Amino acid sequence: MHKKIVIYSTPSCPHCTSAKRYFKELGIPFKNYDVSKDKSAAEKMVKKTGQMGVPVIEIGNQVIVGFNRGRIDSMLNV
């Protein structure tokens, strides 16, 4: 059983695309919020992180700002 994963992203962000591709390669489901279109998701992201940068990746109750594969792997034990 994997932890719940949420990605806050924008369509034009290459690191967002890489993060989503990585989770797909691992076969791990995630919920994606396009913060360029979803104002409430954008507000939630800023409230959690204090910044506007994407991607913001939530794994369980921990937050990673940016696509940090090493940190993702250690949080998922892969």
| Residues 26-72 pLDDT 10s | 999 999 999 999 999 999 999 999 988 999 999 999 999 999 999 99
Cis amide prior to 11 (ω within 30 degrees) = no
Residue 13 phi/psi, 5-degree rounding, is -95, 115
- At 30 the pLDDT is 97
User: What is the number of other CB atoms lying within 10 angstroms of the CB of residue 55?
Assistant: 24
pTM: predicted TM-score of the whole model, two decimal places: 0.93
Q: Where are the domains of the chain?
A: 52-78
Residue 2 has pLDDT above 80, yes or no: no
Residue bearing the bigger pLDDT, 11 or 77: 11
d(Cα 56, Cα 46) in Å, to the nearest integer?
A: 10
- At 78 the pLDDT is 80
